[in-house]
């Protein structure tokens, strides 16, 4: 028997759905707001959630990330009376099972529910059978879990894979994990940095050359395509591959044969292709900067890696993983962490993604030396300044706009600080950490009061994510 949750503010629809689901011998709960639905979803494990879009306390699509971050995320079926193509696209990108319009027939709802439950059962079976080693990929956020599901599919196949994402998101790590879990793991994992290839040597590097083929070719050279025979060829930053070589490489992909520079005989290579890029290849095709036929060949499967700013829930586990690894590497004792160490990391924008995070953490570890605890003071000043500016902007932006002042007006910042902490400034100053904690708590209390506890208003005014806001409430013992 499956457990189903309905989140819809239409009581009549809820009653009809409950009756249908009960007749199908499944358990059912109903909620009439986002907050009520989220509380139930956190308290119980549901197999399927029917989610309305327009609810009294916000848009149902806004809670998709939180539903997907649950320990056992449910299959989500959007059921709405508003036909919105953009909303459907966002919902499907967010990982929903289906998008149904009201009124839907009993038969249509029953069929969709049945398919979702069958899919969930088969997915659970595959997960139990899966023996893939993905321990090198750290993260539990919905974004990275979706990418990991695609990684598992790619590892079980021999299809070409295109991995997209910003610089520093871990594209090469995903590529090597696909290789190490595939039936080609006994072969070579060959990395080709397309951005580092010069146009004059790219053919020689990929296909090899014969002695005397050109000036400086003093010996025969085996190309990287041949080295990858029986293994995986990883083209990093494939968007940087010169147009002049793309046509030749397309033939290699189609025929799995090539001719080294200066040779008259063709060679073969049975490689599996994984490519990666931080560029928009579709846009490059439209501009004539990348061949469309090559793009179709390399993107049989596509895996997108979200930027770190969109998976802040993973920062703590990523940081601990890397610090533990560095401590072992340097022969140091394990480190403890200051109370605000992770909150500062989670408040930063991370333009350099995971690569930047790991670099920052290594600098912090070096700064801490033999100290047993990592504090925010060990983090680079540039990072702490950036976070401080963002926090001040968040705390003062709404008030400045409301009073019609220029957001850059420093008087607004001083007025807010003096108004809230007037009593504190008449006494000895507390520590900066205590001061910041007091500031956050006072701000949150005033935020809740001014917004009358309306969560969408609170999130819009504070620019906080829902999960970050709830973590702050828990931290300071506050409630809506």
pLDDT at position 411 is: 41
Share of the chain above pLDDT 90, in %: 41
- The predicted pLDDT at position 396 comes to 54
Residues 151 and 297 occupy one common structural domain: yes
- Say if residue 262's pLDDT is above 70: yes
Q: Convert 232-267 to b/e letters by CB count within 10 Å (16 or more is b).
A: bbbbbbbbbbeeebbeebbebeeeeebbbbeeeeeb
CATH number at residue 348: 1.10.8.60
Distance CA 176, CA 75 (A): 30
Q: pTM of whole model > 0.75?
A: no
Q: What is the mean pLDDT of residues 401-426?
A: 45
Mean pLDDT throughout 96-101? 78
89 and 236 in a single domain? The answer is: no
Q: Is residue 102 part of a domain?
A: yes
Domain end position, chosen among 261, 283, 306:
306
CA distance 195 to 167: 13
Structural domain contains residue 433:
yes
State phi, psi for 76 to the nearest 5 degrees. Answer: -110, 130
Q: How confident is the model at residue 126 (pLDDT cuts 50, 70, 90)?
A: low
pLDDT the model gives residue 427: 52
Q: What is the pLDDT of residues 339-357, one digit of tens each?
A: 889 999 999 999 999 999 9
Residue 87 sits in the same domain as residue 173: no
- Domain CATH for 198: 3.40.50.300
pLDDT: which is higher, 53 or 235: 235
Give the CATH number, domain containing residue 84.
3.40.50.2300
Q: Is the distance from CB of 337 to CB of 345 less than 8 angstroms?
A: no
Residue 59 has pLDDT above 60, yes or no: yes
Same domain, 168 and 290: yes
Q: 272: pLDDT confidence band, cut at 50, 70 and 90?
A: very high
- Assess if residue 137 is contained within a domain: no
DSSP secondary structure of 46-71: -SEEEE-SEETTEEGGGGHHHHHTSS
Query: Is the same domain home to 179 and 289?
Result: yes
Whether the per-residue pLDDT at 263 is higher than 70: the answer is: yes
Assigned domain for 136 exists: no
Query: How far, in Å, CA of 416 to CA of 406, rounded?
Result: 15
* 133 inside domain: no
> Quick one: pLDDT at residue 174?
96
Mean pLDDT, the chain, as a whole number?
A: 84
Pair of tokens at residue 424: 């504190």
Same-domain pairing of 11 and 113: yes
Find residue 47's DSSP bridge partners: none
For 26, half-sphere exposure in the C-beta direction (CA atoms, 13 angstrom radius) is 21
Indicate if 356 and 269 belong to the same structural domain. Answer: no
Q: Which two tokens stand for residue 124?
A: 């659970």
Per-residue confidence (pLDDT) for residue 410, from 0 to 100: 40
Residues 6+ away with beta carbon under 8 Å from 107:
none
**Residues 403 and 361 placed together within one structural domain of the fold:** no
Per-residue model confidence (pLDDT) at position 58: 84
- Parent domain of 283: 142-306
Residue 192, domain member (yes or no): yes
Domain termination site, one of 306, 336, 361: 306
Residue 322 lies inside a defined structural domain of this protein: yes
Residues 154 and 79 in one domain: no
- For residues 372 and 394, state if they share a domain: no
Nearest 5°: the CA angle 460, 398, 36 is: 25
Looking at the fold, whether 373 and 463 belong to one and the same domain comes out as: no
pLDDT tens digits for range 68-80:
778 788 999 887 7
- In 3D, which of 107, 105, 53, 56 has the Cα closest to residue 81? 53
Q: What is the pLDDT of residue 406?
A: 47
Structural domain contains residue 56: yes
User: Which domain-ending residue is among 275, 306, 337?
Assistant: 306
Closest CA to 465 of 38, 47, 66: 66
Residues 41-50 have a mean pLDDT of 91
Clarify whether residues 262 and 170 are in a common domain: yes
Number of domains into which the chain is organized = 4
């Amino acid at each position: 028997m499956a457990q189903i949750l309905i989140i819809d503010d239409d009581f009549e629809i809820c009653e009809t759905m409950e009756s249908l689901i009960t007749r199908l011998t499944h358990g059912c709960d109903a909620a009439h707001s986002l907050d009520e639905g989220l509380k139930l979803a956190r308290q119980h494990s549901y197999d399927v959630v029917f989610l309305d879009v327009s609810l009294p306390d916000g848009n149902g699509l806004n809670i998709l990330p939180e539903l997907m971050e649950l320990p056992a995320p449910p299959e989500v079926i959007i059921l709405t009376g508003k036909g919105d193509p953009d909303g459907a696209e966002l919902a499907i990108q967010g990982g929903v099972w289906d998008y149904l319009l009201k009124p839907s027939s009993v038969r249509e709802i029953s069929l969709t529910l049945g398919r979702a439950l069958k899919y969930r059962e088969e997915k659970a079976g595959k997960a139990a059978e899966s023996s893939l080693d993905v321990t090198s990929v750290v993260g539990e956020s919905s974004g990275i879990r979706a990418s990991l599901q695609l990684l598992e599919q790619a590892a079980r196949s021999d299809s070409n894979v295109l991995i997209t994402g910003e610089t520093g998101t871990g594209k090469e790590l995903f590529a090597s994990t696909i290789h190490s879990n595939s039936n080609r793991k006994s072969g070579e994992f060959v990395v080709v940095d397309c951005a580092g290839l010069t146009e004059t040597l790219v053919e020689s590097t990929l296909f090899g050359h014969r002695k005397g083929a050109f000036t400086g070719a003093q010996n025969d050279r085996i190309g990287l395509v041949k080295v990858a025979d029986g293994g995986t060829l990883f083209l990093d930053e494939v968007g940087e591959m010169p147009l002049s070589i793309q046509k030749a490489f397309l033939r290699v992909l189609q025929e799995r044969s090539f001719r080294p520079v200066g040779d008259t005989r063709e060679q073969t290579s049975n490689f599996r292709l994984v490519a990666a890029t931080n560029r928009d290849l579709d846009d490059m095709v439209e501009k004539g900067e990348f061949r469309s036929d090559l793009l179709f060949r390399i993107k049989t499967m596509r895996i997108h890696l979200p930027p770190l700013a969109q998976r802040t829930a993973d920062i703590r586990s990523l940081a601990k993983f890397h610090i533990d690894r560095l401590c072992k590497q340097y022969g140091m004792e394990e480190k403890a962490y200051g109370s605000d160490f992770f909150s500062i990391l989670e408040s930063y924008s991370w333009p350099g993604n995971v690569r930047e995070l790991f670099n920052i953490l290594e600098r912090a570890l070096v700064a801490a030396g033999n100290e047993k605890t990592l504090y925010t003071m060990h983090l680079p000043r540039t990072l702490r300044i950036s976070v401080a500016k963002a926090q001040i902007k968040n705390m003062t932006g709404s008030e400045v706009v409301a009073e019609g002042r220029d957001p850059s007006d420093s008087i607004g910042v001083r007025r807010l600080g003096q108004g809230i902490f007037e009593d504190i400034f008449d006494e000895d100053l507390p520590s900066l950490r205590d001061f910041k904690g007091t500031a956050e708590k006072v701000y949150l209390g005033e935020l809740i009061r001014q917004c009358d506890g309306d969560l969408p208003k609170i999130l819009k005014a504070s620019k906080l994510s829902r999960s970050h806001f709830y973590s702050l409430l828990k931290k300071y013992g506050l409630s809506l």
